A and B are shown apart, each in its own frame.
Chain A
Amino acid sequence: MSTTKVIVGPVHPALHEPERFVFKVDGEVVVDVEPRLGYVHRGIEKALTERSFTQGLYLIERICGICNVAHTLAAVQAIEDAFNVEPPKRAKYLRTIVHELNRIHSHLLLLGVACELIGFDTLFMLIWRDREAVMDIIEMVTGNRVMSAYNIIGGVRRNVSDHEVLEMKKVLEALVEKVKQYKEVFAEDPTIRARFVDVGRLSRAKALALGAVGPTARGSGVKVDVRAEEPYAAFDEVPLNAVVYEEEDSWARLMVRIDETLESARVIEECLDKMPTGPVRVRVPEVAPQSSEGFSVVEAPRGELLHHVYTEKGNDKPLRYRVRTPTYANIPSVCEMLKGGYVADIPAALVSIDPCFSCTDRVALVDVRTSERVSVDLLTLARRYWR
């Protein structure tokens, strides 16, 4: 059963990496799904054992462009855990601020892309234009719009001036107003509701059993949010409320993200007010001071992210580095939520988990009645079946 390989082409801004699904369909209803991963396997876990900790940090940042702050944050926290080093307080607050800014930009990206996928291009453009303001302040604080290179072992690389603090507050205030309008649109617009409500059903029991994380789990009533349950960085002093919806469908997952955007804006404002003065970085040894392991769990925009590192005393390279990304954990849940739905609902269900890899793969439809195989790519699927 070999299907053709994949388009890597970035036809779509939110879909980055290829993946293949083989659907078994009975008419229009999906009966079974089989995923095939690994098209962008880069051997990162192996490469990290051959690079020093600081060099490896920049490779880790490029595991995912949209969640790069979450990856570097988890990495520096894990390495600091293994080295037994504590970063200064101001650094923790700054890390939290950039982490939440990253989350806002990622959620706005997904909301725009979800609208584009169902054909609501106006809302896509409006959301992305407001997202540009967030990209500008990320550029102002960290030096680059996407790859922030802000977290480093022992703290952060740059301090933030008072003028920058004021600028951030201004931008966030304007953004919150717009996002509240978008929340109304998503809640009430009949087209969006027709396309996302009751699509991609994932019951709470299944979400928990299959290991769903992030908004995929929180849209099904499972209350797990690392920032609230296992606080890290400044979240122990600036507590956060986890956003949970009970509707168990794609619409709930999108609404979770909108509410999280508003919650993140609130957390950033509180951090900017409460941030203590002081140094932003401590010096850290080049080589590991002890043979131990460190792990760190953070809430990336897509869910729970775990970094696990084993160090050896006197070695400047890690012995073993393990990264478990959130979309990897959501794959069994995606297969479950696609079963029993229509073929036409596949993209709407897929985009609601915020896949961090491209689903513009060759999707092969196998009609169980005739055993005929038709190979079609996702964009054609979208056009042929809905528009």
Chain B
Amino acid sequence: MTLPSLLRRAWSNLFKRPATVQYPFKKLTPPPTYRGRHILFKERCVGCGLCSKVCPAFAITMVSTEGGTLPTIDLGKCIFCYQCEEVCPRGAIKRGIDYELATWRREDLIKK
């Protein structure tokens, strides 16, 4: 009969730690392959605009600054697919593992 095996597991669960990770007090680190917040190497960017053209969510706009034309990523629209990283000819966009992206205002999501 199987009922005893399930009861045994339910009983032993009483003495184990809960499986929930208490988030704000204990933070899990995702694996290195995780697709989180982008890391932009501004000195490598040449302003070609390929990242903006290929973005499936239309989240990247090229903005002229005194350092040249740089991409600005709207994290509210971004789907974190990292096609921009694949297509960049200079490796100026890289994958990061930061997942804490919440802001108070929507405008702050547009990463300068």
Do chains A and B make direct contact within the complex (CB under 8 angstroms)? yes
Interface-located stretch among B29-37, B41-49, B61-69, B104-112 = B29-37
Q: Does A144 contact B (CB under 8 A)?
A: yes
The answer to whether B80 and A58 have CB atoms under 8 Å apart is no
Q: Please tell me which one of the listed residues B1, B3, B33, B79 contacts residue A158 in the complex, with CB atoms under 8 A apart.
A: B33
Interface-located stretch among A135-143, A203-211, A227-235, A347-355 = A135-143
- Considering the chains assembled together, what is the distance between the CA atoms of A266 and B54 in angstroms? 38
The answer to whether A140 and B31 have CB atoms under 8 Å apart is yes
- Considering the chains assembled together, what is the distance between the CA atoms of A142 and B2 in angstroms? 37
The answer to whether B35 and A188 have CB atoms under 8 Å apart is no
The answer to whether B6 and A185 have CB atoms under 8 Å apart is yes
Q: Please tell me which one of the listed residues B1, B9, B55, B79 contacts residue A188 in the complex, with CB atoms under 8 A apart.
A: B1
Contact status of A139 and B5, CB under 8 A, knowing A54-B54, A54-B56, A55-B56: no
Size bin of chain B's contact surface:
20 to 34
The answer to whether A51 and B56 have CB atoms under 8 Å apart is yes
User: Which A residue sits closest to B95, measured CB to CB?
Assistant: A143
The answer to whether B19 and A55 have CB atoms under 8 Å apart is no
The answer to whether A58 and B79 have CB atoms under 8 Å apart is yes
Nearest CB of A to B88, in Å: 15
Nearest CB of B to A195, in Å: 16
Q: Does A129 contact B (CB under 8 A)?
A: yes
Nearest CB of B to A110, in Å: 19
The answer to whether A143 and B54 have CB atoms under 8 Å apart is no
The answer to whether A181 and B33 have CB atoms under 8 Å apart is no
Q: Does B86 contact A (CB under 8 A)?
A: yes
**Residues of B contacting A141 in the complex (Cβ-Cβ under 8 angstroms):** 33
For the complex of A and B, the 6 pairs showing the least CB-CB separation, nearest first, are A58-B56, A55-B56, A184-B2, A143-B35, A143-B33, A140-B31
